[in-house]
Amino acid sequence: MATLSWASRLPWMHSEVTMRTERYAAMALSTTHLMAGVVLLLLSGWFIAASAVAGLAPLAATFNYVIPAAMIRFLALLRILAGYGEKYFGHAALLDKVSQLRLSVFDGVMNGRADESRAEELERLGQHTDALASRDIAALFPLISAAVLALLLSVFGLLVFPPLLLLLAITVPAALLIVLWQWRCLHRQRSQLAKGQTAYTAAIEHYLTSASLWHHGMSNRPLEASQTDWQSARHRLRETENWGDWRMTAFAMSLLLFAAAAPPQEWLGSPYLMLGLFFCLSLPDWLGPAIRAMSPLAEAQLAEAELHKLMAVSDRVAVDGEEGVARLPIDTLSLSSLRPQRGQFHESGLDLTLRRGELALVQGSSGSGKSSLLLAIAGLLPMSGKLLINGGDVSTISPAQRRRNLLYIEQFPVVLADTLRQNLLVAAPGASDDALRDALVATGLEAVLNDGLDQWLGETGRLLSGGEKKRLGIARALLSDAPVWLMDEPFEGLDQAVIERLSVLLSRERESRILIVVSHRELEGLQPDVCLSLDV
């Protein structure tokens, strides 16, 4: 399957040249690490045999022990340094790739290239992007290293030790068969594991949402059955991974017996003969990584297929001015008998007209449908009734345009496991650093900014407090410059000083846009134009 075409359409933390350099450096060092290990083993075997032969011959005094010993030490040091270098450059490229893919997926989710059911599967999306980003370091590098080493050993055999060519002629086709068989088995079992995990997760959610029925003797046998299927799939996957190593070890031992039983007569007594024996012994070290690479390769291919499905709904890119996601000049927003298809709500729906510069405050008890109303206006929840923009039905614009211009600011904004900079750039990919800093300062996040835009926020933004996450969502809204803001409890959990500061900000922003704010607080500083209560 081709590389994801949408994966390079946003500005990234590092330039494409830097990422490509890191990738090539990691690949070269991975090959050097493997090659140094195999050559070290072969040279050590030859040196042992040559030392033994030299010790029995009259030429013992003239045998140069220093150069081979120095080469062995050099190869050992080279192997260590190449291993550390591979980890450094490989993981640098991995982090950049994870950032790249997660931002692309997040961009697709936020701009209509994903349906709502998939958009809620954030954990699966994270697993898919991690698997795809790891494909180079976990799968491709070991395969490329094995291929390069086979080529170099062929050249060495041709020039120095021809019997090695015979061993390679047997080894390469057999290794390819083992690798391809391993990939085929793992691809099928990875697919079964993914289906089992999806079914198990669905069963858990169904069981937990039925908690009120547990005391009626509700059976959890469907949950136990799906758990058993999932665990069985995991067990079969682990067994197949182990069998790959066992097959390669068994093949290496068989090849060793063949080489020991039928050595070429002209090479008997030669120290080079040990090269063939140690070549057979080195096969698990040489080809083992290629066998073990089949599991992450199969996982990455399945992840790429899933992400392609996710992004296939639309192939637009959310950049300002591009057709389909441009900023609209919204002067009026009208609701006519609008009723979200979730939660308790007015049976007749809601009628409301707001003009640019106006703010509506929506209040109501828990479960009255406040958040559902915002989600329905943003197009994230099915609804009945009509929603008009500048007098025209909202259905005349694309879903991406709707979400771009009717911006829903969550009560608990999603924070990517990435830098502060990238968490802001999802709202405005072309924004300058000055614009990012201005948005943070405007929302009172100077303390967060003190650690720089490139600080890592951790998984789900664990380095930020709940209030800081809320203000990060408002900072994104400032950067997006959407003409309509749909704000869900923006002041919940904030202290009074921060609330007053944000009230001043919203009073300023309402002059150029339409604001609908859900809040259980009385917003005296905002002086809303319309106050709605959804309690029925």
Same domain, 66 and 190: yes
Q: Which of 403, 404, 426 is nearest to 414 (CA)?
A: 426
Residue 366: inside a domain: yes
pTM to 2 decimals? 0.53
Same domain, 216 and 140: yes
Domain final residue, candidates 311, 340, 359: 311
In this predicted structure, what is the pLDDT of residue 485? 92
In this predicted structure, what is the pLDDT of residue 170? 87
Same domain, 303 and 368: no
- Residue 459 sits in a domain whose CATH number is 3.40.50.300
Q: How many residues does the chain have?
A: 536
For residues 363 and 531, the answer to whether their CB atoms sit within 8 Å is: yes
Looking from the CA of 16 toward its CB, the CA atoms found within 13 Å total 5
Residue 324: inside a domain: no
Same domain, 306 and 350: no
Q: Which of 244, 92, 89, 253 is nearest to 177 (CA)?
A: 244
Q: What are phi and psi of 516, to 5 degrees?
A: -120, 115
Same domain, 182 and 229: yes
In this predicted structure, what is the pLDDT of residue 434? 92
Residue 383 three-state SS: strand
One-letter amino acid for residue 43 of the chain: L
In this predicted structure, what is the pLDDT of residue 120? 46
- Residue 164 sits in a domain whose CATH number is 1.20.1560.10
Same domain, 113 and 80: yes
DSSP H/E element including 339 = strand 332-340
Residue 319: inside a domain: no
Residue 400: inside a domain: yes
Q: What are phi and psi of 342, to 5 degrees?
A: -165, 140
Per-residue pLDDT in tens (0 to 9) along the chain, 536 residues: 333 433 334 444 456 677 778 888 888 888 888 888 888 877 777 777 667 666 555 555 566 677 778 888 888 888 888 888 888 887 777 777 776 676 666 665 555 444 444 434 555 666 777 777 778 888 888 888 888 888 888 888 788 777 778 888 888 898 889 889 988 888 888 888 888 877 777 777 666 655 544 545 555 677 788 888 888 888 888 888 888 888 888 888 888 888 777 666 666 666 667 777 778 888 888 788 888 888 888 888 888 887 776 655 434 433 333 444 677 888 999 998 888 876 556 666 788 899 999 999 888 777 777 888 888 898 888 888 889 999 888 888 888 788 888 989 888 888 877 788 888 888 888 889 899 999 999 998 888 888 888 888 876 666 788 888 889 989 999 998 889 999 988 888 788 888 888 888 888 888 889 999 988 777 667 788 888 888 76
One-letter amino acid for residue 374 of the chain: L
**Beta-carbon contacts of residue 205 (< 8 Å; ≥ 6 apart):** none
Residue 332 three-state SS: strand
Burial category of 511 from C-beta neighbours within 10 Å (exposed 0-12, middle 13-18, buried 19 and up): exposed
Same domain, 189 and 252: yes
Tokens of 448: 């967060």
Same domain, 306 and 370: no
Q: Which of 290, 342, 67 is nearest to 174 (CA)?
A: 290
Same domain, 305 and 405: no
Q: Cα(231)–Cα(301) distance, rounded to whole angstroms?
A: 22
Q: Give residue 399's domain range.
A: 332-533
Looking from the CA of 234 toward its CB, the CA atoms found within 13 Å total 9
For residues 132 and 101, the answer to whether their CB atoms sit within 8 Å is: yes
Same domain, 466 and 398: yes
Q: What is the DSSP string of 52-74?
A: HHHHHSGGGGG---HHHHHHHHH
Looking from the CA of 101 toward its CB, the CA atoms found within 13 Å total 25
Residue 323: inside a domain: no
Same domain, 290 and 347: no
Same domain, 306 and 426: no
Angle at 366 between CA 216 and CA 404, to 5 degrees: 115
One-letter amino acid for residue 344 of the chain: Q
